[in-house]
Chain A
Amino acid sequence: MDVLLGSAQKDLPKAELAAITEELGLNESPVKQYLLWLKGWTITKPEQMTGLGLSYRDGRPVQEVIGERVIPTVVMVGMALLLSFGAGISLGAILAYLSFRGPIAKKVAGLLVAFATFVYALPNFWLAFLLVALLALRPYLYTLPIFGLHAPGASGSAIEMLPYLLLPAILLSLRRLAKIALYVQNMALEELGKEYVLVALAKGLSRAQVIKRHVIKNCLLPVVNLLGLALPAMVGGSVLIESIFCVPGLGRLAVESAFARNYPVLMGLTMLYGVVVTLSSMLADILSSMLDKRLELS
């Protein structure tokens, strides 16, 4: 109660204060509050929309508050995932090819690896706001819009958001991209030492063909496993990126509710993230057992 109202508390009559406390259910003990919350989302029917409780701020159901923020985050994280895995795997393959090629190409690969390590060590929000400042001061460098979600008056469908969310998605994917590229390169180099590569080379395939046809396939499996881990990291990164790019997504909702001590929304978000992450790691497990039949046995 002290937190929610702060100094405004002094100006309120005692009875009103008690009424608000009662309404928000804060007069119960914390344990009972938690049990009530548990009972809420397990027993209430979904169509009633009150299962997760009401937002402290405007009294709307938590599901509704969260629901209207989902789309931008899904679009952004989806794009970032595609980017980081697509570009990461291809960059890794190129790196492996370069370091397999000859002494000069190996030097280039070394430089690229150093660069990727550097990118991985940066906090991505720092890169983001430096870039935003740069682009805002030099608008001719980048023609797509930087801030916001869609043009004023537009309907705000997912497709209209794409150009707006491209830059945030790129920045969100950068660290992960660097990590995947390094990982794929490492594994590809290990694979390249194996005998089937020698056979393929002896058969007359070029180095690029060997990597494209044989090596990358064998590297894909552990990368799929990375997918399960990538999602929580991306979602975490989206919190900071969304606050920089003013994207009204889930991450900013989390920050806002953390500051406003809007506990029901925060709890709902935490639950949602937990479910999504658990599902994604399950999906990664299923995918990898589909890719490699041997895994099904264990």
Chain B
Amino acid sequence: MTSKLKLGQTLFLFLLTLALTSYLARQLQLMPPQALMTDLISPNLPPFSQGHLFGTDNLGRDLASMLWTGALGTMAVALTAALSAAFFGYLFGAVSALIGGIVDNFLMRLVDALLSIPSIILLLTISALITAPEFTKLLPDLLLRALSVSSYSDGLLPFFSVVAAIAATGWLESARVARALVLKLKEEDYFVAAQSLGAGSWHLLRQHILPALVGIALLEATLLTADAIIMESGLSFLGLGLGASTPSWGSMLRDAQPGLLAGNFWAALLPGLLISTAVIAIHLLCEGYMDTVSHGIRTRAR
């Protein structure tokens, strides 16, 4: 266990706990709703003022509770997006490499074409498309009713669209990684043996390929989480993020802008610091893990 890994783990677990506790606190109604924490008479309070640990923003919302709730928004979006991107990307890459031939060529050129578009432009285009009523009307009414949202509500639909936009740009890289891995895997003896015993594609995929990829896919998903946090903050900053009543660190940055010129830089500083802490924690975690793994290999080889 390296110190990097330890530090990364501690920070990341801390942020996750922040997100989970805020969810629980809201579900169990331990935390007063946002409206009650808002203090309209005293906006732009400095930190450590009475009743507001970190002060208030320019609308008088309590920063501490916003940060706490925002952890949930940011983490939920980032983790869901990263996991689904890694899952879909790895599946896509693995299947593409497994089938091979023309299909593989076509699928990979598709990935290349999408990769050549800068991710934030793709993000903008996708979120402009999937938040449009033309698209949401296509979603079956039943689904919308199940999620109990109308197409303009603040509930799960913005969450879904943000996650979809981030995942749609994130899966490309993992698809390429997975394809390269599977191509190498196809040369392995055990794989050739399984094939010559008459194993079908589905069996090969389930029994031999996916288990071999799970570890790396999880690592990739962790790294993607860091990217997703930054992307989410960028999207929220442009106003394409979660709805106004579900705060995230990115939308807090956006909300903090008007207060800045009134000298209230805390409202902008704190969420930004949390974002960078999360990103650094994730990078430390991954680097530490890689160090541990390669160290293990080195000692075993000796």
Contacts and interface: CB of A to CB of B under 8 A. Distances in A.
Given A270-B125, A273-B117, A273-B118, A121 B280 contact: yes
B272 A235 contact: no
A3 B132 contact: yes
A126 B271 CA distance: 10
B67 to A, nearest CB: 15
B283 A274 contact: no
B272 A274 contact: no
Give the secondary structure class of B's interface: helix
Contacts of B122: 270
A118 interface: yes
Interface string A210-232: 00000000000000000000001
Contacts of B239: 259
B302 to A, nearest CB: 19
Interface string B200-236: 0000000000000000000000000010001001100
Contact of A239 (B121, B133, B230, B269): B121
Contact of B240 (A127, A232, A258): A258
Interface string A114-131: 000110011101110110
A236 B276 contact: no
A129 B260 contact: yes
A278 B114 CA distance: 11
A127 to B, nearest CB: 8
Interface residues of B, number: 37
B18 interface: no
A205 B169 CA distance: 49
B124 A258 contact: yes
Contacts of B94: none
Q: Which of A117, A236, A277 has the most CB of B within 10 A?
A: A236
Nearest to A240: B234
Contacts of A122: 272, 275-276, 279
Contacts of B257: 129
A34 B210 CA distance: 37
A94 to B, nearest CB: 23
A233 interface: yes
A2 B134 CA distance: 8
A117 B283 contact: yes
Contact of B238 (A127, A255, A261): A255
Interface string A262-298: 0000100110011001100100000000000000000
Given A3-B134, A240-B234, A266 B280 contact: no
Interface string A126-156: 1101100110110000000000000000000
Given A233-B118, A239-B120, 10 more contacts: A3-B134, A121-B276, A121-B280, A121-B283, A125-B253, A130-B268, A133-B261, A239-B238, A255-B124, A261-B132
14 contacts: A117-B280, A118-B276, A123-B233, A123-B275, A129-B253, A130-B269, A133-B265, A233-B118, A235-B118, A236-B121, A240-B120, A270-B121, A274-B113, A274-B117
Interface of A: 2-3, 117-118, 121-123, 125-127, 129-130, 133-134, 136-137, 232-233, 235-237, 239-240, 243, 254-255, 258-259, 261, 266, 269-270, 273-274, 277-278, 281
